[in-house]
Structure 1
Amino acid sequence: MWFKNISAYVLAEGFDLDVERLQQALTDHRFRPCARSEQSRVGWVNPVESRNTDSDQFVHQLGTYAMVCLRKEEKLLPSAVVSDLVEEQVREIEARDARKVYRKEKLQLKDEAIATLLPRAFSRHRVIHAYLSLKDRMLIVNSSSASQAEELISALRDALGSFPVRRLNVQHSPMALMTQWLKDGQCSHGFRMDQDCELVNPMEDGNVIRCKSQDLSADEVTAHLDAGKQVRKLGVVWNDAVSCVLTAELLISRVRFEDMILEKAREQEAELAAEQFDQDFAVMSLVISDLLAAVLEAFDGLADV
C-alpha cells in the first residue's frame, strides 16, 4: 500500500484519540452493501484486506501509525437512462389523459423512475486509505481530491462524534516560495526541481501555463515569471527518495517512491501478503513523516490558527 497522494491534516490541540476507541467506533460503522433502494453507502473495512467486508479489524496499527480504510458503494444510474424512462412515461400520460405534464409531476416521475431502476443498477466500489500519525498528530489521506478526503473525515466524525482537524496552514506562502525557487533555479530543505510546473496569473483565473517534462530553467519559463506569473504546482524530488508535485494548497500529488525506498521495504522476504503490507507501511509512513517535516520546515512551520 504505497500512497500516490498525500493530503495532510493536523489534529486539533487537546484532542486525543485512543486506537481502541477508534476500532470500536469504526466497528459500529462498518461497511454494509447498499440496500435495493439505496443509491450509495459508505462504511469502514479492513485496511489490509479492503475487499473483505466480513473482517472485524478496522484499524491496522504499526507503532505510532494507525491505518484505516473507507469503502463506498455507488449505484451506477446514468442520467440519460432515467431521462428516457421519464420521457416515455410523460408521453404515455399525455396521450392517455389528453393533458400536459408539468415540471412538478415530472420530478415525481423522476423519483419513481430512480426507485424502479436502482435495484437493477450495477454497483461501483472504491476505497480511500488513510492513516493517523499519532506522534505527529496528523491524518494522512491517500487522495488528491479534497471532496474525497473530506468524505473520509466526515465519516470519522460520524463514527467518533468529534474529529477536529484542519488542513496544513503554514507561515510562508507556498506559491510565493515555489515561485522564488523557480526564479533561483534551486530549492531548499532537501528538495530539487523536477521537470513539471503550473504557472498562473493571480489576477486572471483562466491564464494558466502548464509545463511538463521541460527544462524549467528555459528562457520561455523565465519570461512567464518576469511577466508576473506565479507557481501553483511544482514538480520536485526530495532527498532522491520521493518525487512528487507540490501545490499551493500543500497537497502532494503524483507521489512516486524511488527504487531505494521500495527496495528497503523488501529487504526481508515476506511469506504472507499481510507481512509485506506491514513492511511497506512501516517504510512508507516513516518516509512520509520526514517528507512532511521537510515541507513544514521549508514553509516556516505551521501557522497559528
Structure 2
Amino acid sequence: MWFKNLRIYRFTKPFEMGAEELQSQLAEKAFHPCGRQDLSKYGWVPPIDQDTNQEAEPLYVHACNGYLMLCAKREDKVIPASVIKEAVQERSQHIEQKEARKVFKKEQDQLKDEVMLELLPRAFSKTQRVYAYISPKDDLLLIDASSSAKAEQFMSHLRDTLGSLPVIPPASKQVPTDVMTHWLAEQSAHPPFQLEKECELSNPADSANVIRCKAQDLDADEVQSMLESGKLCTKLAVNWNDSLHCVIEDDLSIKRMKFDDQLIEQASETDADSKAQQFDQDFAVMSLELSKFCKDLFKAFGGLEKTRVI
C-alpha cells in the first residue's frame, strides 16, 4: 500500500464530505468487470481486499485519522495488434480473391471492427489499481500514479462520481527548475532535503537536449559545467528528513518514492491481526509522513500561489 509515486492536487475550497456520504457516492460508480463486448471498465473498489462474504457491503472508503483512502480499478481487454492485423489481412485477401476487387481502407476499418467484436469475448484481461487519499485538513488530494494520464483518469471518475472536484495542481511561487538548478549549483538543498546522486538536465532552448545522470557525484566538474552552459535541472533525486528517498520533477510530481526501512518497521511494531489492520497501520504512518513532506516541499519552493476559487 505504500505509495511509490505522488501526484499532488490542491482543493480550491474545503472538502467537507464525510466518509459515510463519500461511501454512498462511490458505491454508485463501483467497478464492474468487462462484459463480453467491453474493451475496458473503470470504477471504485475497496482499498482493502475484504473477506469473501457476499452479504457484506463493500467498503469503498478507508478512513484513518481524518484521511480518506480510495481505490480505483481499471480492466482492459488485451488483443495483440498483430493478431488483429493478421485477421484483417486474411479477410481482405479472401474478399479480393472471391469478388475480384480491391478492399480499401474504409472497408478494412469495418473488418477491423468485426474482428474486434469476435475476439473480445476470448481476450485476456489486464487490470490495474490506482490508490489515492483525500486529506481535508491539508486541502490535498494525493494520488499514487506514475503518469499524469492515470491521475487525470482517476480525477475524472471522481469528478463524475461527486458531481464536481475543485482541485488544481500546486503552483509554487518559485519556478521548480530554477530552484533545483540552484540547489545543484550550490550543492545544497533547502532543509530538510538533501541531494542524492541523480538528476536530469535539459536545454531550455531545445527540449530534446537532455542529459541524465545516475549514480553520479553531482558536484563533478562535468555536471557543474553543464549548469554554467545554461542547462536547467528538471528532475532531482533527494532524501527528505532521512525518511523518504524520491525524485522531484519540474511539475512538483514525485517519482520513485522509497520510504525508509525504519518507518516501515514502525508501522509493523504492533502485530496486526489481519491484512486490514496492517493496511490501517501502514496508512496511518504513511499519511502522517506525507503530510509533513508536502508542507516541506511547498516551503522549499517558496510556498504556493493562492488558489483561485472554483
Q: Which of the five TM-score ranges fits, normalised by the shorter chain?
A: over 0.9
Q: How much has 1:100 moved relative to structure 2?
A: 1.1
Task: Report % sequence identity.
Answer: 43
Partner of 1:42: 42
- Residue by residue over 1:27-71, the C-alpha shift from the partner in whole angstroms, topping out at 9 and shown as x without a partner, is 011111001000000011010118979651100000210100000
- Cross-structure match for 1:263: 265
Residues 224/50 of structure 1: CA separation in 2 closer, same or farther (3 Å cut): farther
Aligned to 1:139: 141
2:82 corresponds to 1:98: no
- Shift, 1:201, TM fit: 0.6
Amino acid at match of 1:108: Q
Where does residue 130 of structure 2 map in the other structure? 128
Whichever residue aligns with residue 282 of structure 1, its letter is A
Cα distance change, pair 113–68 in 1 and its aligned pair in 2 (3 A): same
Could you tell me how far apart the structure 1 residues matched to 2:40 and 2:218 are?
A: 44
Native 8 Å contact 1:11 1:138 kept in 2: yes
Structure-2 separation of matches of 1:99 and 1:113: 21
The structural deviation recorded for 1:173 is 0.5
- Give the number of equivalent residue pairs: 305
Find the partner of 1:87 among 89, 92, 107.
Answer: 89
**Aligned partners of 2:15 and 2:136 also within 8 Å:** no
SS of 1:42's equivalent in the other structure is strand
Q: CA RMSD in A?
A: 1.5
Q: TM-score w.r.t. structure 2 length? A: 0.95
State the secondary structure of the residue aligned to 2:273.
coil
2:214 is matched by which residue type in structure 1?
Answer: K
Q: How far apart are 1:101 and its partner, in Å? A: 1.1
- Go from structure 1 to structure 2 and tell me whether the alpha carbon gap of 1:53 and 1:121 turns closer, same or farther (over 3 Å shift): farther
Shift of 1:265: 0.8
Aligned to 2:281: 279
| Aligned counterpart for 1:238 among listed residues 230, 236, 240 | 240
Distance change (3 Å), C-alpha of 1:53 and 1:230: farther
Q: 1:45·1:52 contact (CA, 8 Å) conserved in 2?
A: no
Q: Is the 8 A contact 1:31 1:53 kept in 2?
A: no
Report how far residue 14 of structure 1 moved. 5.1
Retained in 1: the 8 A contact 2:199–2:233? yes
* Aligned residues of 1:46 and 1:53 also touching (Cα < 8 A): no
Change (3 A) 1:199 1:167: same
Structure 2 unaligned regions, length at least 5: none
The C-alpha deviation readout for 1:111-158, integer Å capped at 9, x for no partner, is: 111101101100001000000011001110001210000010011011
* Aligned equivalents of 2:51, 2:42: Cα separation in 1: 14
Question: SS of the counterpart of 1:193?
Answer: strand
**Aligned equivalents of 1:263, 1:52: Cα separation in 2:** 29
Matches of 2:219 and 2:17 in 1, distance apart? 46
Query: Is the contact between residue 156 and residue 163 of structure 1 (CA under 8 Å) also seen in structure 2?
Result: yes
Task: Report the Cα distance in structure 2 between the residues aligned to 1:145 and 1:107, rounded to whole angstroms.
Answer: 31
**Using the alignment, how far apart are the partners of 2:52 and 2:25 within structure 1?**
19
Change (3 A) 1:83 1:140: same
Decide whether the 8 Å contact of 1:189 with 1:297 is kept in 2. Answer: no
Q: Distance in 2 between matches of 1:22 and 1:115?
A: 37
- Measure the CA separation in 1 of the matches of 2:160 and 2:135: 20
Residues 203 and 230, structure 2, Cα contact 8 Å, conserved in 1: yes
